[in-house]
Chain A
Amino acid sequence: MSHPASEASPAPDASTSPVGAEGSVPATAQDAGPVAQPEPSGPALLEVKDLLVTFGRKKAFRPLVETRAVDGISFNLYQGETLGLVGESGCGKSTTARGVMRLVEPKSGSVKLNGKELLGLPIKELRPARKDIQMVFQDPYSSLDPSMLVRESIGEPLDVHMKMNRQQKTERVAELLRLVGLPPDYMVRYPHEFSGGQRQRLTIARAIAADPKILVLDEAVSALDVSTQNQVIDLLEELSQKIGLTYLFIAHDLSVVRHISDRVAVMYLGQIVEHGPTKAVFDEPAHPYTEALLSAVPIPSPKTQRSRERIVLAGDPPDPSRVPPGCRFHTRCAYAMDICRTVMPQPTPKVGGGEVACHLHTSGPMLQGRSLRIISTGSTRTIENDAAQVVA
């Protein structure tokens, strides 16, 4: 961490502990909280450590402004699981995915796929190494070339990664179409002949063409209508069982994430603030941001929605190029203490598994990884905070 405020923090090395690796959390924190339900064990399929992605913006006669879009995040992805990555726009979840795939070049950190380091590989070696990790994007209208037949679009990864003759290729495309629930004779059609849901099936077919192990789904169902969205979610669940796919599922819709994910990581301004098993994060949120985010999602049941506690955060998320010192969330946080304004919190283990980066757990009320519900007031709160207003 090169953030000036973090130098004062008690356990600077804790920030390097990857999501899911319980062993590397600071000893003090481990003594304090009981650690139930360990994370998936065994070697991780994908190991991301201290990933840092920055964007520079140079204006004439002004110094370079550096935006740390992804600021030292770490997580592990295990075989067969679905890790949900949630957060608001601009928090760096898509940049994380792009950094992992080296679609943007990370500044530092490490990305290991099956134990093999991807960062720093020359592009010639990167291509075959990256075969195992493929991506599906949000907009199925712009991610298919309108002038290519379905057969050509889906067959393209086969040309790049597998040496196949014409007939093998046609057979493989037919098999892929069947796998995503479309008739094989659709391969001689153009994208404009398909609906949004069908197009998303095509992009999924293309993504799994070269037999990847991991699929990165960046808002892959967000552009679809509810009724078609579920069909695609069902397909993803079916594929994970049939061909053992592992998903990194990025979405802003928390209801969908809750449904599909085994574990969830919550991001705010380029950092993971809380992660853990889905149920633990959603039912027992330990970070004030997670709590506020969850309470902002309206529930499709009038009675439940009327009786819920609502936390309305003031202001917008701060500009990622001017992050506040200390805890990045303190400008909008209902529980902010003095320490939050100067010292960056370090991850501590959560009851029920996972980690949370918030001072409430190590000072003040000393929650020690327990749910925030212990100290919530149970009524509707509007958080007024001058700092947030100024930043906005």
Chain B
Amino acid sequence: MTKAVSQSASSGAVLSDRPTLEVEDLFVEVLTEKGWATVVDGVSFSVARGETLGIVGESGSGKSVTCLSITGLMPPKQTRVRAKTMRLKEHDLLSLSPRQMADVRGPVISMIFQEPMSSLNPAFTVGDQIAEVLRRHEGLSRKAAKERAIGLLARVGVPNPARRFKQYPYEFSGGMRQRVMIAIALACNPDIIIADEPTTALDVTVQAQVLELLRDIQREHGMSIIFITHDLGVVADICDRVVVMYAGQIVEGAQLDTLFEQPEHPYMEGLLAAMPRMDNSLAELVSIPGNPPRVGAFPEGCRFNPRCKYADDRCRTGESPVLELAAPNHTTRCLRHDEITLTGTT
């Protein structure tokens, strides 16, 4: 069952050609004070060309670590990464040396982070930081790189790009900095961009601008996006397909509309009921009792069982359940998904 599902999960994309990114059975351990702790536990997913995959989860669910491991950005001495498959286009990410990995980051895969201020170097001009990428990966001359960088700044909607090229990050607002980060990520036309909570630190009106920009650019270049967020509103706005993470595991994966309308895991049902909706104040907010488990202290059985209102004895013992197909293209890690009926949103 496990094998069949992980295969179907990695070929679950609607598009028929080979997915841009394929990850199968990814395990990540990090060194803590108490020894090695597994923070990502058997994660499998794939992203098709031009697709936006959402990774949803609360803090500590392992969504960022998953993506940092794919891009080889976890600190090597304190991290152990293994997987059955980790393929990005024609590159086998597991066999790449750090130097080869650095050649892949930029032209093939790039990242946008949550904090635009701490991701930009305050001591260099914004222009230098965009041009650096072009010079490193495409071997452009200073002049050619500058020209391209100004073009990129204009593309991401920074007014006065030629003047802005010479300015430092502190001279930019939060939204403008995030546009610069997007320009850097776009510089070498990557096949896939990982956006890790790119709008969480921004105001809603600026968030709307940045989401609109990402959508436009994706339409233009046909790139894939992995969008990490905890905000189900943002997910509903931008994603095509979603995987939900809890305590280091994927607990559910489905097409966007299906996931929201017919969730198959109690955690997703809980998240949907817990989201206050701006278009409806009357709906009562339902909390998920308790807290997410800490890394290294995951409960026995289903990791969600202490907070689950449907849990019975089977859920509380033994190994954690495996991902099963609840419907075509819809996986869940709930043992009781056939016995219970969950409510979604409309």
Q: List A residues at the B interface (Cβ < 8 Å).
A: 88-89, 195, 197-198, 225-231, 233-234, 252-256, 258-259, 278-279, 282, 292-305, 310, 312-314, 316-317, 382, 389-390, 392
Given contacts A233-B285, A300-B277, A312-B212, contact A305 B237 (CB under 8 A): yes
CB distance from A224 to the nearest CB of B (A): 9
Q: List B residues at the A interface (Cβ < 8 Å).
A: 58-59, 159, 173-176, 203-209, 211-212, 230-237, 256-257, 260, 270-272, 274-279, 281, 285-289, 291-292, 307, 345-346
Q: Which of A252, A254, A389 is in CB contact (< 8 Å) with B278?
A: A254
Using Cβ atoms and an 8 Å threshold, which residues of chain B touch A228? 287, 291
Q: Is the pair A299, B260 in contact by a Cβ cutoff of 8 Å?
A: no
Given contacts A227-B270, A228-B291, contact A301 B260 (CB under 8 A): yes
Using Cβ atoms and an 8 Å threshold, which residues of chain A touch B59? 225
Given contacts A300-B275, A303-B257, contact A197 B205 (CB under 8 A): no
Q: Which of A230, A252, A297, A300 is in CB contact (< 8 Å) with B235?
A: A300
Given contacts A282-B278, A282-B281, A392-B173, contact A300 B58 (CB under 8 A): no
Which of A195, A225, A258, A304 has the most chain B CB atoms closer than 10 A to its own CB? A225
Q: Is the pair B233, A313 in contact by a Cβ cutoff of 8 Å?
A: no
CB distance from A319 to the nearest CB of B (A): 9
Q: Is the pair A252, B260 in contact by a Cβ cutoff of 8 Å?
A: no
Q: Which of B159, B212, B260, B275 is in CB contact (< 8 Å) with A226?
A: B275
CB distance from B318 to the nearest CB of A (A): 25
Q: Which of A296, A302, A303, A389 is in CB contact (< 8 Å) with B159?
A: A389
Q: Is the pair B276, A256 in contact by a Cβ cutoff of 8 Å?
A: yes
CB distance from B174 to the nearest CB of A (A): 8
CB distance from A233 to the nearest CB of B (A): 6
Given contacts A297-B278, A313-B209, A392-B159, contact A234 B204 (CB under 8 A): no
- Contacts A228-B287, A304-B279, A392-B176 aside, 9 further interface pairs with beta carbons under 8 A come to A226-B274, A227-B270, A227-B271, A254-B278, A255-B276, A258-B276, A298-B231, A300-B277, A390-B159
**7 pairs from A and B in contact (CB 8 Å cutoff):** A227-B291, A231-B287, A298-B234, A300-B275, A317-B203, A390-B159, A392-B176
Using Cβ atoms and an 8 Å threshold, which residues of chain A touch B205? 88, 292-293, 296, 312-313
Which of A234, A279, A301, A304 has the most chain B CB atoms closer than 10 A to its own CB? A301
Which of A252, A256, A298, A382 has the most chain B CB atoms closer than 10 A to its own CB? A298
CB distance from A252 to the nearest CB of B (A): 7
Q: Which of A225, A300, A303 is in CB contact (< 8 Å) with B292?
A: A225
Using Cβ atoms and an 8 Å threshold, which residues of chain B touch A293? 204-205
